[in-house]
Amino acid sequence: MFLIVGLGNPEEKYAKTFHNLGFLAAGDCAALLHTKFKKKECEASVAEAYLAGEKVIVARPFTYMNASGRAVKQLMRKYRVGPSELVVIYDDYDLPKGHVRIRPSGSAGTHNGMRSVIAETGITEFPRIRIGIRDEGTEIPLIDYVLSDIKKEDYDLFASACTRAAEAAIALASGTRFDLVMNKYNG
């Protein structure tokens, strides 16, 4: 069993914002696994698939970014998933735009969604895939920036980053060694 959670905000008005890159990557995961989001449970939209004989759950929490941990905790409990069987995908202002960074554990950094996940689950030792959003030319407050729409000229860059993040999550779910996934997808 493996649980992949993409963080974001459920309303349509947030669909093309930086803070929804986790949702977009989760959508890419579902597409790569040839499944769709059909179920609503644990305050999340859920897609189910099998990979190498193991069940993989891909989820997008309905709880909004700042309460993402509530859904993650419920999903972990329902599916009896431990920290090593969870991967969370999210946007990260601390990385340059379009960069993907995979880590086995860590702090929440400046990300409120990850703060919620860590606070609700009580764990920091779980894989996470971050998609960089920092644009050196932008000088607006962080809260406004993460909720702003991705520029049209950057859309392909972020679409590619989301696909790479999804591929990395699926590689982890398939049992590929963590160091190999990091070497292939970081950057």
Q: Token digits for 68? A: 């993402």
Which among 165, 180, 11 is positioned nearest to 88, based on CA atoms? Answer: 165
Between β-strands 100-103 and 39-41, what pairing exists: parallel, antiparallel or unpaired? unpaired
Query: Which one of 19, 34, 99, 111 is the catalytic residue?
Result: 19
Specify the 3-state DSSP secondary structure of 82: coil
What are the C-alpha distances in Å from 5 to residues 48, 119, 129, 164? 12, 16, 10, 15
Instruction: Establish whether 19 is a catalytic residue.
Output: yes
C-alpha atoms less than 13 angstroms from C-alpha of 186 in its C-beta half-sphere: 11
Active-site residue numbers? 19
